[in-house]
Every structure is written in C-alpha cells, then in structure tokens.
Structure 1
Amino acid sequence: MSITETATIQGITPGKSRGGGDQERARKRHDSRIRWALLAPGILGLIVSFVFPLLFMARMSFNIGEPNGVVHETFTFETYMRSLSDPYYWKVTVDTFWMGLATGVLCVLVSYPIALFLARTESKWKGVLIALAIAPLLTSAVVRTFGWMVILGNQGLINTTLMEWGLIDTPIVLANNMTGVIIGLVEIFMPYAILAMMSGFGRINTQLEEAAGSLGASKTKVFTRITLPLSLPGVLTGFLLVFVLSISTFITPRLLGGGVVQVLATEIYDQTTGLLNWPFAAALSMILLVLFGVVIALYSAIVRKMGFSS
C-alpha cells in the first residue's frame, strides 16, 4: 500500500495538508507585514528625532572646538581626555551622580507611603486623591523652582518663620547650594515616583498579608516581611525614573543653585551657548549618556539577582 493510500485511509489528504500549511505561513507573513506597517511611522520618527541626533552628537564629540566657536572636523579623543583628566569635570560628574542618588532616595522615601495609600485605599475619593498627587505635573517646573527660591531664601518663608518663633538667630542657608537643589528636585519629581510605585504596588497579592496576619504576625512584621519585599520592584522603578530625570535636569540646578552648583546639564549648556565649544559639550553629553547606561545596567542586574520579573 502506498503512502498516499495510507494517508487517505487515515483521513488525511496530503494536498490539503500542504495547502493548510501554506495558508498558515501566508497568514503569518500577512500579519507580520501589518505589524511592520503599523510600527514603521513610530520607528521612522524615533530614528529621525533620536537616533540621527545621537549619532551627530557622538560624531561631534570627536571634533575639536576653538574658543571662537570654530569646529575642526577631525577624529580625536582630545575632548574626552580633557574632560576625564580635569579634576573640575570629575567633580561635576560626581556631584551630578550624588545629586541624582540623593534625590532618588529621598523622593522614594517620601513618596512610598503616599503611593501605598493610594494603591490600597477604597475611598470613593480615590480618583480625586490620585489627581491631586499628580497635579503638580500641570505646573511648569520653572514656576515651581521659582516658588522654592522664595520659600528657601534667606528672607523666605522657612527662615522668616523660624526666626519669628525664636528657633534661630541667623537664616539657614537653604538656597544657592546643593541642599536647596535636592529639596526642589524631590518635590518636582514626586509625582513620577508615586505613579511608578503605584503601578508596582497594584500587583501585590493582599491575600499574603491577610494570611500572615491570621497566623499572628504583627502589622510591622507583615510590612517588613511581605509588603516591603513584594513592593521592591515598584520602588526600584520609581528610583530609577527619578534618578535619570534628576541627573539630566537643568532648570532647577541652574536657578536654585544660584550659579554655585555645577552639574553636567548646566556645564553642557554653558559649553554650548556661552563658550560655543560644541565638541566638548557633546563629549560631556556622551559621558552623561554613559552614566545613564551604567545605572540602567545596575538596575537590570539587581532585578535579575532578586528574581523580579520585568
């Protein structure tokens, strides 16, 4: 008996089987073309608005800039060697990192209870409370920074109140330094941290907490043993978001720093608009980009090590 006869007896038609497979492959190719057609505008926009400028900036960083703004087309590491060998720019880079780290940690600490409350509350005003938590995003960061300049100044609300109450004799220096910058950044980026952590807290199974409580665990132990560990993915995401936004911000360090606080963003601005040294500004931008990459790589490693799913 031939293979064809055997297949026919078993109810399988070879021609139809191959035809069905061809139709399935054709359908998959059709679906793939549709997906790529839908993705094409976004990919094209990303290439034009991000990839090309990034490549241009990377190429510019290997040129040489003159004090009069003239750029010499070449390929040299001179700008990188200057930025990496000068103690001043090392200090600027380190200050930028510590500013982002302090802002991220403080922002997460302040935003954690708010995010946890908003994620767990069953109040009928939950939507209103969430809207109030993110309402500062509706106001420009420039306006909020000016507000903090008024509050933190020597004659500002904090110092005036403390002096009227007799708690201090001389104003506390809260503006024109890194302390004021961090205070302003924490308030400005709190909505981002709240939103990031709320999205992570929503995936916590509350039945685990209820089970621990029914077994006699105190509220403190339930929080430290269950709630906090399970909420760490949201916490890490919120910290990463705030850190990245902080080290790249320009307005708040410029205004609240009073020209005293120099970070990579302000230095890049000065090199670009003041000194017209575009190659050096591009080199500093690439260093900032590398700093981004290192932090994101550390974040990914921590997430994998702790066994969190992405």
Structure 2
Amino acid sequence: MNMDLPGTSRARTRLLLLVLLVPMAAVNLLAFIVPVVRLGMISFLESRSGGVLTDTFTLANYADFFTDHFSYQLVWNSLLMAFIVTLGTLICAYPIALFLHRVGPRWRNLLFVVTVSPLLVSSVVRTYGWMVILGNSGLINGLLQGIGLTEAPVRLMNNAFGVYVGMIEILIPYMALALIAGFGRLDAVYEEAAATLGANPFVRFRRIVFPLTMPGVLLGCLLCFVLAISSFITPKLLGGGRVFLLATEIYDQAVVQLEWTRAAATSVIVLAIFGLALALYSRLSQRYE
C-alpha cells in the first residue's frame, strides 16, 4: 500500500495553494498595485506646460493642495455628498432588504432579481434618464406646472439636489445586496420572544432587528460611501459643472488642464480618504461581531 507521509501531504497542499494564489496575485499586482504605485510616484514629480512630466522630485503638488482653500472646499463637498448619499441610500434600501429577508421563498428569488435588475443598465444611461426626469422640461416639472403648483420650472438639476437623487437611485442595489448579505444573524425567533414580553414593533426594531443587522449596514455604508465619493459621471452630468467634487476636479486637472502631477496628488488624497473609511469600518465592525 502506497501511503504519503504527513510532511509530503502538507507540502503538496502548500504547493496547490501557491498555484491557486499566483494568478490572483498576478492580476492584483498588474491591475492594482503597480498603477497605484505609479500614481504615487507621479504625484511627487514636476510637470511642464502641456502635461510633460519631468524627473524632478518635488512636494509642491501636495503643498499646493493643502494651502489652497478650494481644495478644502472640495474635500468638504465630497465628504458631505458621500455622507448624504450613503444615508439616503440606507434609508431607501433597508426596508427593501428587510422585506426580501422576510418574504417567503416563493417570491424571494423574483423580488431579488427585480431589486438588482437596475445593475443591468449602465449608470450613464440611468443618469441621462434622470436628466430627462429632472430637467426644466422634464416629467416632474411638467407635472407640477400641469396641475398648477408652479408657474416656472423648479430647478431640480445642475445643483447638489440632482446629484443626490441620481446617486441614491444608482447605489440602492449595491446597498440592498450588502444589507441582505449581512442579515444572516437576524432570526424571527428573537422578535417573537420580544413580542411575547410586550415589546412593540418600534422597540423590537430598535433593540433587536437593527443591532443584529449592523454588520450589513456597516458593509453597505462603506461600499456606498466609497462609490459615492469616487463617482464622476453622475455628479458631472446632473451637477452641470456647478457641483465641485474631488472626482470632477481630478478629471479637470488631468484632461482639461493637463496637470497630471496635481491630478495624481489629488487622487492619492482620495485614496487616503478611502483608507480612513476602511479603518473606521474595521473599528466599528469589531463591536458587532
């Protein structure tokens, strides 16, 4: 009988794991780590007019960012927009996710497909759809003027309001998916036990349902916050160039002004914000494990 030694078996297991990890590690290295490192290197270089990079090391790009009042306004606008969009998405998606968690298996799959079906349509197409709905001659203004509530069109886009509406609608499926994934600890038995002890629906939700679903809430908030603060096309179109955010400023610096080094420095600042958000998520998630 041919029997492998324990050491040989462990060596084969390590070799198999290595073989399985190499493709994923190579993809992450080439598609993420190398571009991020290159981005960081560019942020410390000088550039000439026309976007020509030099080999001169400088801290001027970061000095310009941290000494410019407009940069602080960009950070504040981006954080405020991401916070409002994340909160609005959570408020809209939480009842949907909770209903999907509680509905019977007969309808769950169908309703789940309906919930995530907007992901099958490009966010650009949905943004243009909101431009049609929120425009001065759009559906909402036409309805308001048709029933006599307003005489002139209400400005619903080319401002922060239009950006909030478009971003919330686009991110609702992502939040719903994250919430559903984090509802594993929610069991109807706990609610039934609280009901037998006299807890009303609001108390059951505040003391049992919401705390048990906090892992999904935190995951969904992290995902939507990152997607919101890095979003470009929806704020650009629905903001009409009047809503200034970090993502839109990076585009203008890189494409319009050809200031590649400044755009790289601003991108590194955005990555730092992502890191802070991830650290906050890790800190809060430890409380609810």
TM-score by length of 1: 0.89
1:1-310 equivalent positions in 2, closer than 5 A: 23-122=5-104, 124-304=106-286, 307-309=287-289
1:103-125 CA deviation, whole Å, 9 max, x = no partner? 00000001000000001101522
Matches of 1:67 and 1:47, distance apart in 2: 32
In structure 1, distance between residues paired with 2:152 and 2:282: 47
Show CA shifts across 1:90-138 (max 9, x none).
Answer: 1112111111111000000010000000011015222111101110000
**Percent of aligned pairs with the same amino acid:** 43
Q: Counterpart amino acid of 1:196?
A: A
Distance 2:204 2:256 in 1: 56
Alignment gaps of 5+ in structure 1? 1-19
The one-letter amino acid paired with 2:271 is L
The residue matched to 1:73 in structure 2 has which SS? strand
Contact between 1:67 and 1:275, CA under 8 Å: does it hold in 2? no
**Residues in 2 aligned to 1:84 and 1:200: alpha-carbon distance in whole angstroms:** 38
Number of equivalences: 287
Q: Which moved more, 1:69-78 or 1:55-64?
A: 69-78
- Aligned-residue offset at 1:171: 2.2
Query: Residue 154 of structure 2 aligns to a residue in which SS?
Result: coil
CA distance in 1, matches of 2:140, 2:17: 56
Distance 2:101 2:285 in 1: 22
Aligned equivalents of 2:60, 2:104: Cα separation in 1: 60
Partner of 1:72, secondary structure, is strand
| Cα distance, 1:203 vs structure 2 | 2.6
Structure 2 length as normaliser, TM-score? 0.96
Distance 1:163 1:185 in 2: 26
Q: State the Cα distance separating 1:84 from its structure 2 match.
A: 1.2
- The letter for the 1-side match of 2:233 is I
- Give the partner amino acid of 1:41: P
Report which of the two structures shows the higher radius of gyration computed on alpha carbons.
1
Letter in 2 for 1:62: F
SS in 1 for 2:288: coil
Assess if the C-alpha contact under 8 Å between 1:240 and 1:296 holds in 2: yes
- Once the two structures are TM-superposed, the CA of residue 178 in structure 1 deviates from its matched residue by 1.0
Question: Which residue is equivalent to 1:15?
Answer: none
Q: Work out the CA distance in 2 between the residues paired with 1:73 and 1:251.
A: 32
How far, CA to CA, are the matches of 1:179 and 1:64 in structure 2?
Answer: 38
Give me the whole-angstrom Cα distance separating, in 2, the residues matched to 1:277 and 1:113: 45
Runs of 4+ with deviation above 6 angstroms: none
- Deviations, residues 70-89 of structure 1 (Å, cap 9, x unaligned): 21212211000101111112
List per-residue Cα deviations over 1:240-260 (Å, max 9, x = no partner): 100100111111011111111
Q: State the alpha-carbon separation in 2 of the partners of residues 66 and 100 from structure 1.
A: 34
Q: Secondary structure at the match of 1:125?
A: helix
Equivalent residue letter for 2:20: L
Residues 168-219 of structure 1: CA deviation (Å, up to 9, x unaligned): 2332211001110011000001000000001111331221111111222222
Tell me if the contact between 1:61 and 1:79 (Cα under 8 Å) persists in the aligned partners.
yes
- The one-letter code of the counterpart of 1:193 is M
Residue type at the aligned position of 2:97:
A
- Using the alignment, how far apart are the partners of 1:178 and 1:262 within structure 2? 9
